[in-house]
Amino acid sequence: MARVRAKPWFVYMLECRGGRVYTGIALDVVARFEKHCAGKGAAFTRINPPVHVLAAKRCRDRSSALKAEARLKKLPRAEKLIWADRHKIRA
């Protein structure tokens, strides 16, 4: 019997109004960004509306995405921006 592969999770970073940075996880980064823009995301993005997705990185599962998110949130701003530059979403 074939194994069903779980959908990949992503850790993502948004640039918000005022130059602030938000980090989160999602199965669908575009859909999550749209929720943030509609004011249905995190409290942080309701106060600091998102401007665009800075970066996203595919993770193996929800657990690894949560761990990556926790690590990113601990970084100083300059290091977050370096990470974002390395994981920019290419159009």
More confident residue, 90 or 66: 66
Instruction: Please tell me the distance from the alpha carbon of residue 45 to that of residue 49, in angstroms, as a whole number.
Output: 5
E strand spans, 1-91: 9-16, 21-26, 50-59
- What pLDDT, on the 0 to 100 scale, is given for residue 4? 61
Instruction: Please tell me the distance from the alpha carbon of residue 32 to that of residue 26, in angstroms, as a whole number.
Output: 7
- What pLDDT, on the 0 to 100 scale, is given for residue 3? 63
Sheet with 21-26, side-by-side order of all strands: 21-26, 9-16, 50-59
Q: What are the tens digits of pLDDT across the range 40-85?
A: 989 999 999 999 999 999 999 999 999 999 999 999 999 999 999 9
Q: What are the tens digits of pLDDT across the range 8-36?
A: 999 999 999 999 999 999 999 999 999 99
Place of tokens 């921006």: 81
Structure tokens that stand for 53 in this block: 């997705």
| Total length of the chain | 91
